[in-house]
Structure 1
Amino acid sequence: MTDKKSPLHDEHVALGANLTEFGGWLMPLRYTSDLAEHRAVREAAGLFDLSHMGGITVTGPDAGAFLDHALVGRLSAVGVMRARYTMICAEDGGVLDDLIVYHNAPGEYFVVANAANADTVLVALLERAAGFDVVVRDVSSGGALIAVQGPRAEEILRDVLTEDEEISGGTTLDELRYYACLGMRFGEHAVLVARTGYTGEDGFEVWVDLPDAVPLWRAFLAAGEPRGLVPAGLSARDSLRLEAGMPLYGHELDTTTTPFEAGLGRVVKLDKVSDDGAPLEFVGRDALAARRDSAPARVLVGLRGAGRRPARAGYAVVQPGADGAPGPQLGTVTSGAPSPTLGAPIAMAYVTPEVSAEGTELAVDVRGRAEPFTVVALPFYRRS
């Protein structure tokens, strides 16, 4: 039963949002139409409530070394006010969750987990903290996370937030790169702004203390409305991330999947070393090294449809058969939808390596009919 509501819940109700359960939270699915919200993000800007995401702080003298041990990346190498996409894996190499980790200050890191996996990640980090001088703390309920995404996101942000050298972390908004963050002010209060997102567009994610969550949401709406910004829900967020070829936990990633199968082997740093130059052991290292060196049983690919009927998660990828009938199964769709930007059905799927080359003609069993799809490169969409 859903019992968690965002600090912005009443704002969503007032805007007429269609609410849905997601990761144990009641969150906006859409406000008007999926298509309108998707297009607003591609053409102007969208405003998202991401307060359902898990937030975990890791602090202490051993914080960097601990995260090197607990996660697959080398987080100790991430500069202050920078961020990194990474994963937490089980001993067998299966993905427990994909994460973004921010290095906010020396000895201080902020781990953002998916809503449905927040408890799993917290428990795993607490278990792995033994022997390290660190404090791992769940801070998910301590604030709100609001995202402004789209080509006009920066000018909207500048209207609402103010730069301040005292809290900036040594950079300016003009200098802020992708996967970097800085402190800014909303009125008299500090907020953390990161140039990150899950839409394939330029944009920002802003952490704000609870008392300022509603005023900040309303300020973004007011500044953005003349520029085409609209509030956007989970449905648009999903179609945007699919066009951008970004994985979603529970679809492209799960405990039966390693980063290598998902085409994300680059995030696994098997060459991590300790301060004395010795190979650094981290949870899942041996299993991941073995998976890297073995032939994959399946490969994640992009599929673009020739017709109009979309493939959906769980549909079978098949060999095209005679008279439109599905042939032998070659894989499974993990995510699929019509693409508003491309005007064609798109999907991500795991298929056997033999049929994973770009240009391979395949089909998807859509309710008993083999709909034609072609293997294409990911992502489907890149902003210009």
Structure 2
Amino acid sequence: MHMPVISRPQEPALFARAPALERHRVAPGGLTVVALEPGDRLEVIDLEGCQSAQLLAFDGQGREALAALGLNGSAGARFIAERIAEDSRESLHTRLGLARRNIDCSRLPDAALLWDGETPAGFGRDFAATGEVLVIVAAPGGPSPVDSQQRASELRLMIHRANPRNVLAPPLPAPLGEVVDEFTINPGCARDYLVKAGQYIQVLDVAGRQCSDFVAFDRRGLDRGRQLDLDPTVTRTLNGNAYPGPGLFSKFFDRDMQPMLEVVRDTVGRHDTFALACTARYYESQGFFGHANCSDNISRVLAPHGVEGRRGWPAINFFFNTGIDAHQQLTLDEPWSRPGDYVLLRAMTDLVCASSSCPDDIDPANGWQPTDIHIRVYSEKERFSIAMANRKTPDADPVLTRESGFHENTSALTRHFVDYRGWWAATHYDGYGTTEEYFGCRERVAVMDLTPLRKFEVLGPDAEALLNYCLTRDVRKLAVGQVVYSAMCYEHGGMLDDGTLLRLGPDSFRWICGEDYAGDWLREQAQKLGMKVWIKSASEQIHNLSVQGPLSRELLKQMIWTPGTQPKLEELGWFRFLVGRLDDYNGCPLMVSRTGYTGELGYEIWCHPQDAQKVWSRLWQLGEPLGLVPLGLHALDMLRIEAGLIFAGYEFCDQTDPFEAGIGFCVPLKSKDVDFIGREALLRRNAHPQRKLVGLELAGNETAAHGDCVHDGRAQVGVITSATRSPVLGKNIALCRLDIGYCEPGTRIQIGKLDGQQKRIDATVVPLSFYDPEKTRVRS
């Protein structure tokens, strides 16, 4: 007899699968407030190591209650009191919240020091609550100079509830601001509500994986007898989309092409825009007659406003996970949303809105278990940052899109930003434009905010051994003050990331890359090997500018001061770095590396975000006479393609090895005589190559695009990874991953457009670097 097969997929951080467990994040240098009930167990974990922790607890009368967790105050543990007393919006919000719990923030006691800063990664302590207490946990830390490697890092709180709720609903997250109206919508129900122009609507998925259909009407139009609702065709057309797809438009319009709503925040990133809300006919077609449905519910709640009912409502289907497959068919699966995920919208006119909590329990649309949707309406006086959310791992807390220390300066020059790996980055600048920015870099000097790069400090006696095992380069050959470019691979030889490694000391390094998960990966390998090494995240405290172009040295030598123990800026060699200060001995600390991503002479400046304004202002003061221009992502893409430089998600992914990605030079299989991750796979792949990255020159004036197929006759033999029109070469060029049999320079192939067969562009294989292949400019 065989037992039944049971589905037990891994679903990290989903409340419905572990209702007794809560996760909370304590930000570096920040604090988090949680409430415990008798019998609850609190686990405080130092994720990265070398991070101290402090804790305060209060009872229902606002009295210090550390004893309820078996703790005592530690003399001098004042970080929590000092942080709460700061003059910031976050501190004010915390003080107001604590005051509502009868806690006097002006007389906070000493906290309990849970441990000092000499802890290994993953170290933690458990506490059992003997009474009802409000707990504040802090990760002490402050600003750290750019050349220092001891930084505050985050803590993880795990709460194991003794009495989890019977319903599958975690507690609601705290409001984002002043609430004008709020209500909960139970599964199978809908609710109408009024929103004034300028007010904000938060649609919140309480327990995760629950869809909510949303429609809105122009309130003044209804008063005039006109039913002007969100129009899917107008919206997608004005946003430049061929058909509705997963995600949200930045603005939503009515049929008169007037804006109705704009999206301010989205912590999920996966929604269906303007499929129909579920209908009676859908359930009837599946054999479920009389099933509750969102369309009928929406018609019912809108009827008092004079809105004519519809059997199927075109709606914004928040959290509904649909996609378009290769055959143009609509597919659906369980939502991506987690407990507390939300979308925040701003009304651009007075609206009558209706929201539902979808009753669909016959397919994966609501994770097979419909739950609540919560709506909050915020005052028009509030100001919220525009953001999306990213998670570096499936069970990590969402982090909203961040602004670098230079954002105040770049946002004064442009409104054109994209979310680039969780940070706002400019695509191009008003008054300049992509072409002028490009030529400014090729002919003079350009500056770009590259803060989105991830930075990790790797410290300890086993730091060199760990990096030598995790990177393809031979790290043992790296001198103090030197930089090396390397790949980081998985065991099967596919690339996790690429980046640059700086050696700051015999046992201290800084890994700079694009992938947030790289820090966790290094930590996992160190733990497997039992190494004495710490990997500390430094991205929040090191922000950076790239200064590129033939006049970059002339500009920077005027503003970078170095002590006698460091090279002068004009003496700095290629792939070397220095530690100096801005202008003179008393200036703010800086690091400068002679690195870049443009194929030109160039440098990168690294500083603490609190010094970003000084660095930017000085750079422009000295740079304007030299013709300095700002550089956006669009121009950077043209520059790096011309130089044959690769980009994650285009030239490589975890199915691409460094040889296929065009960076085989950073895998010294012959000279590196020690093992490293992926070595055996890379030896095998190198001996039997299947594909290679090459350059293509296109005939004529039509351009290629990422993903275009490359053909020899009818057969596809490659794919375009990146392409651009090169202003300096006067040609259309592309990078292409091509079958190894076609990679000889001079080989003729064709790029397929339309369906790949009905239109072809002739192209010729050329070496990978189109511009200055000998690197004479970058080495000058």
Q: What amino acid is the match of 1:349?
A: C
Determine if the alignment matches structure 1 residue 380 to structure 2 residue 760. no
Question: Partner of 2:618 in structure 1?
Answer: 219
Determine if the alignment matches structure 1 residue 158 to structure 2 residue 557. yes
Distance in structure 1 (CA, Å) of the matches to 2:533 and 2:678: 21
Question: Partner of 1:181 in structure 2?
Answer: 577
The answer to whether the 8 Å contact 1:17/1:29 transfers is no
Determine if the alignment matches structure 1 residue 210 to structure 2 residue 609. yes
Determine if the alignment matches structure 1 residue 13 to structure 2 residue 411. yes
DSSP-derived class of the 2:540 partner: helix
The answer to whether the 8 Å contact 1:309/1:366 transfers is no
Instruction: Between the two structures, name the one with larger relative contact order (CA 8 Å, sep ≥ 6).
Output: 1
Q: What amino acid is the match of 1:370?
A: R
Greater CA deviation, 369-378 or 196-205? 369-378
Unaligned 5+ runs, structure 1: 274-278, 321-326
Question: Partner of 1:27 in structure 2?
Answer: 425
Distance in structure 2 (CA, Å) of the matches to 1:210 and 1:22: 18
Question: Partner of 2:733 in structure 1?
Answer: 346
Unaligned 5+ runs, structure 2: 1-387, 390-400
The answer to whether the 8 Å contact 1:20/1:27 transfers is yes
Question: Partner of 1:125 in structure 2?
Answer: 522
Question: Partner of 2:703 in structure 1?
Answer: 310
- Deviation of 1:16 after TM superposition, in Å, equals 2.1
DSSP-derived class of the 1:96 partner: strand
DSSP-derived class of the 1:154 partner: helix
Question: Partner of 2:366 in structure 1?
Answer: none
Larger radius of gyration: 2
> Once the two structures are superposed, what CA deviation does each residue of 1:298-342 show, in whole Å capped at 9, x if it has no partner?
11110011211111100011236xxxxxx4322100000111111
Distance in structure 1 (CA, Å) of the matches to 2:524 and 2:545: 30
Q: What amino acid is the match of 1:111?
A: W
Distance in structure 2 (CA, Å) of the matches to 1:72 and 1:232: 31
Distance in structure 1 (CA, Å) of the matches to 2:504 and 2:644: 28
DSSP-derived class of the 2:558 partner: helix
Greater CA deviation, 80-89 or 218-227? 218-227
Question: Partner of 2:445 in structure 1?
Answer: 45
DSSP-derived class of the 2:606 partner: strand
Greater CA deviation, 262-271 or 198-207? 262-271
Could you list the runs of 4 or more consecutive aligned residues of structure 1 that deviate by over 6 angstroms after TM superposition? Answer: none
The answer to whether the 8 Å contact 1:143/1:213 transfers is no
Alignment of 1:163-312 (within 5 A): 163-166=562-565, 168=566, 171-187=567-583, 188-271=587-670, 279-294=673-688, 296-312=689-705
Q: How many residues align?
A: 366
Distance in structure 1 (CA, Å) of the matches to 2:718 and 2:670: 32
Question: Partner of 2:479 in structure 1?
Answer: 79
The answer to whether the 8 Å contact 1:57/1:108 transfers is yes
Q: Residue 371 of structure 1: which of 761, 770, 773 is its match?
A: 761
> Once the two structures are superposed, what CA deviation does each residue of 1:82-126 show, in whole Å capped at 9, x if it has no partner?
010001111101000001000112211010011xx22x2111100
Q: What amino acid is the match of 1:293?
A: A
Q: What RMSD in Å do the two structures reach over aligned CA positions? A: 1.5
- Deviation of 1:53 after TM superposition, in Å, equals 0.5
Distance in structure 2 (CA, Å) of the matches to 1:331 and 1:317: 5
- Deviation of 1:272 after TM superposition, in Å, equals 6.1
Question: Partner of 1:148 in structure 2?
Answer: 547
The answer to whether the 8 Å contact 1:67/1:76 transfers is no
- Deviation of 1:234 after TM superposition, in Å, equals 0.8
Q: Residue 332 of structure 1: which of 700, 719, 732 is its match?
A: 719
Q: Residue 536 of structure 2: which of 137, 146, 170 is its match?
A: 137
- Deviation of 1:280 after TM superposition, in Å, equals 2.1
The answer to whether the 8 Å contact 1:81/1:102 transfers is yes
The answer to whether the 8 Å contact 1:299/1:352 transfers is yes
Q: What amino acid is the match of 1:283?
A: I
Question: Partner of 1:323 in structure 2?
Answer: none
Greater CA deviation, 188-197 or 171-180? 171-180
Distance in structure 2 (CA, Å) of the matches to 1:350 and 1:87: 18
Q: What amino acid is the match of 1:284?
A: G
Distance in structure 1 (CA, Å) of the matches to 2:447 and 2:569: 19
Greater CA deviation, 192-201 or 23-32? 23-32
The answer to whether the 8 Å contact 1:37/1:231 transfers is yes
- Deviation of 1:17 after TM superposition, in Å, equals 4.2
